Amino acid sequence: MDVVLIMVLAFVGYIIAYKIYGKFIGKRIFEISNANKTPAIEFEDGVDYVPTKRGIIFGHHFTSIAGTGPIVGPAIAVIWGWLPALIWVFVGSIVMGAVQDFSSLILSLRHQGKSISEVATEVIGKKIKVAFFLIVFIELWLFIAILGKVMAAVFSQYPGSVFPFWFEIPIALALGWALYKKGIKTTVGTFWAVFAMYVTVILGVFFPVHVGSLGMFDPIAVWTIILLIYAFIASVLPVTTLLQPRDYMNAWELFIAMGLLVVGVLVAPFNGGLHLIAPAIIASPKGAPSLWPFLFITIACGAISGFHSVVASGTTSKQVSSEEDALFVGYGSMLMEGALAVLVIIACCAGLGLAAKGTDAQIWSGFYGSYGLTPATTAFIEGSSNIIETLGIPSGIAAVIMGVFVASFAGTSLDTTTRLQRYVIQELLTTSNRVGSDNGHWYTNKYGATAIAIIAAALLAFSGPRTADGLITAVGATVLWPLFGANNQTLAALALFAGSVYLRGRGGKKYLATFIPALFMFVMTLWALVENQLSYISKGSVLLAIVNFIIIVIAAYVGICSIIAIVKKEKVD
């Protein structure tokens, strides 16, 4: 099938879906109205609760939910062929992912900006409180450990991305200061911030940064430690100081990167051609698990991701100024992420063929001869760089652009995830009704709760075996991705169950819009969790088996409680 046609049909389909199904979900199912006061207005404090312009909060939310998920997931999943990945990304994002994101955001907006865990407790019943909080904690715990490793690997493989990544911090600080302290127009501030950011990208090509081993830690471990320290600092600062302006900048970085890829796909046919080198369907690729159910947990972000419900109800709901903005921010962001996932599929399944020599089968097997995260990430960066090169951009700069793009998005997710984990810890351990009140305890103030989040993630990231040289390394992403995927999609199903119970209480059959997707994801994830459990036991992976078993028990318990609440139309207190 023609690559350009695939891209155009997908993008047009997303626009139509937003105009028709998105507005149906917003106006008819959830009945959004600006007459409902949002938490950002009601509890404005200048730190966490901050009324924000729709465009800025869209950028912040989008970059927070995107991260590396819509890159890594589709890049891995195309090992089963481009067609299953494309169908799941397109259909899943419209009827499942965007519905979950939007419903989670609305539920939080209507419950004082509380997290999906706290909202689910109020909607479904008190019996599921600890279980829901625990599965969210595991989700964020795994993700922080994974993100540190992903970014460390990118820095080691593409040292030209290091300088521009870290220089984004002072640029973001300056942007936040200019917008909120000096009242600079958003368009002016955005232009200069993005311009400065791409100047550093060019400088990164000429000033690559290499980090060696330090004591008992190998380079990957050193980078992971540095990144976790950064995450601690970023997540305790006021949201408008670094988190929001950096995410907003990265949104423009994404728009530009996506724009380059789109134009590159359109231009490539005139510069030697662009065609799919991947088979449409590969039933049993070597070393990979079965397509069913693992396609649906491998591609999370880009189709549906439980992490999005945590972001929507964690940071985003505290910044949305009006309820009607939630449709654009929640539903629209997910479709934008789906568009990114489509471009990732094209980069991996067609872009790789632009520069490499050999037959399509030889090129494909060179990148997808094994199943895993690292070869998939490399495939995306190389494939997308090849597409960008068709625009006349030198290969070195193209590689740095995409390397920074991947690292930057992982960075936005890292500091956002750490902040969200802090919220979860505070909500679970405090008796206050609102995030920000520490009750005088060190473990519920923002510094203590954040420290708990960082230390827990570090212990997980460094829990694997040492290198052949006896050095400590961070193996989080390599080992934890399958477990994270299963937990992540379990959370997606449970978030949709919460929305279903809420809608069921409002009468009629509106709850089916969230309940049908919830059931599908519930079955797929339980199926995958059971297969994971058998695999971990056979391999003797004790820690993974224990965590996976806990997830199975929680998923079954919360799922059953949710179904009971829907059938009986009452809480399971």
- List beta partners, residue 52: 320
Residue 243, domain member (yes or no): yes
More confident residue, 307 or 105: 105
Residue 573, domain member (yes or no): no
pTM to 2 decimals?
0.85
Quote the pLDDT of residue 435: 47
Q: Are 95 and 21 in contact (CB under 8 A)?
A: yes
Burial of residue 169 (number of CB atoms within 10 Å: 0-12, 13-18, 19+): middle
Longest dimension (CA), the chain: 66
Quote the pLDDT of residue 149: 74
Q: Side chain identity at 268, as an amino acid letter?
A: A
CA atoms of 418 and 415, how far apart (whole Å): 5
CA 9 to chain centre: 24
Residues whose CB falls within 8 Å of the CB of residue 151, separated by 6 or more in sequence, listed in order: 223, 227, 407, 410, 411, 414
- Nearest of 381, 440, 320, 386 to residue 75 by alpha carbon: 381
Mean pLDDT of 36-47: 85
Residue 246, domain member (yes or no): yes
Residue 542, domain member (yes or no): yes
Mean pLDDT of 452-476: 76
SS3 472: strand
Residue 528, domain member (yes or no): yes
Looking at 268-394, list the stretches that DSSP marks H as alpha helix, in order from N- to C-terminal side. Answer: 291-298, 306-314, 325-326, 332-349, 360-368, 373-389
Q: Give the count of domains, the chain.
A: 1
Angle at which helices 373-389 and 332-349 pack, to 10 degrees?
A: 90
Quote the pLDDT of residue 433: 47
- Span of 121-135, 470-484, 494-508 with lowest mean pLDDT: 470-484
Digit-coded pLDDT (tens) for 281-303 = 988 888 788 889 989 988 988 89
Quote the pLDDT of residue 155: 85
Place of tokens 């490399």: 378
Angle at which helices 476-505 and 512-539 pack, to 10 degrees?
A: 150
Kindly state the DSSP code that residue 268 receives in the 8-state scheme: G
Residue 208, domain member (yes or no): yes
Is the pLDDT assigned to residue 82 strictly greater than 70?
yes
State which residues form the domain around 320.
Answer: 3-568
Name the pLDDT band for 478 (thresholds 50, 70, 90): low
CA atoms of 143 and 488, how far apart (whole Å): 9
Digit-coded pLDDT (tens) for 202-254 = 898 888 888 888 888 888 888 888 888 988 988 888 877 887 788 778 778 87
Residue 100, domain member (yes or no): yes
Q: Are 399 and 159 in contact (CB under 8 A)?
A: no
- Span of 114-118, 309-313, 482-486 with lowest mean pLDDT: 482-486
Quote the pLDDT of residue 356: 64
Quote the pLDDT of residue 567: 86
b/e map 353-364, b = 16+ CB within 10 Å: bbebeeeeeebb
Quote the pLDDT of residue 1: 58
Is the pLDDT assigned to residue 485 strictly greater than 60?
yes
Digit-coded pLDDT (tens) for 47-78 = 778 888 888 888 778 877 876 778 888 988 99
What whole-number percentage of the chain has pLDDT above 90? 26
Quote the pLDDT of residue 475: 63
CA atoms of 162 and 194, how far apart (whole Å): 17
SS3 320: strand
What whole-number percentage of the chain has pLDDT above 70? 94
Dihedral angle over CA of 399, 401, 405, 411, nearest 10: 100
CATH code at position 282? 1.20.1740.10
Residue 53, domain member (yes or no): yes
- Nearest of 457, 391, 383 to residue 419 by alpha carbon: 457
Neighbours of 447 (CB within 10 A): 13
Neighbours of 49 (CB within 10 A): 22
CA atoms of 556 and 562, how far apart (whole Å): 10
CA distances to 105, 124, 131, 328, 418 from 450, in Å: 23, 28, 21, 30, 7
Digit-coded pLDDT (tens) for 346-384 = 999 988 888 766 677 888 888 787 776 667 778 888 888
- Span of 171-185, 223-237, 407-421 with lowest mean pLDDT: 407-421
Region for residue 508 given its phi and psi (left: phi exceeds 0; alpha: psi -120 to 50; beta: otherwise):
left
Mean pLDDT of the chain: 85
Residues whose CB falls within 8 Å of the CB of residue 98, separated by 6 or more in sequence, listed in order: 17, 22, 25, 330, 331, 332, 334, 335, 338
Quote the pLDDT of residue 374: 65
CA atoms of 396 and 388, how far apart (whole Å): 11
Quote the pLDDT of residue 381: 84
